[in-house]
Amino acid sequence: DTASLILEGENVGAVVRTTAGVKPVYISPGHRADLPSSVSLVLSLCSRYGIPDPARRAHQLTQEIRRTGR
Summarised one tens digit per residue, pLDDT across range 1-38 is: 899 999 999 999 999 999 888 999 999 999 999 999 99
* pLDDT score of 48: 87
Average pLDDT over residues 56-60: 96
Within 10 angstroms of residue 61's Cβ, the number of other Cβ atoms is 10
Average pLDDT over residues 60-64: 97
The torsion angles phi and psi of 7, rounded to 5 degrees, stand at -130, 120
Q: Is 4 helix (H, G, I), strand (E, B) or coil?
A: strand
Buried-exposed string 18-50: b where 16+ CB fall within 10 A, e elsewhere: beeeeeebebebeeeeebeebbeebeeebeeee
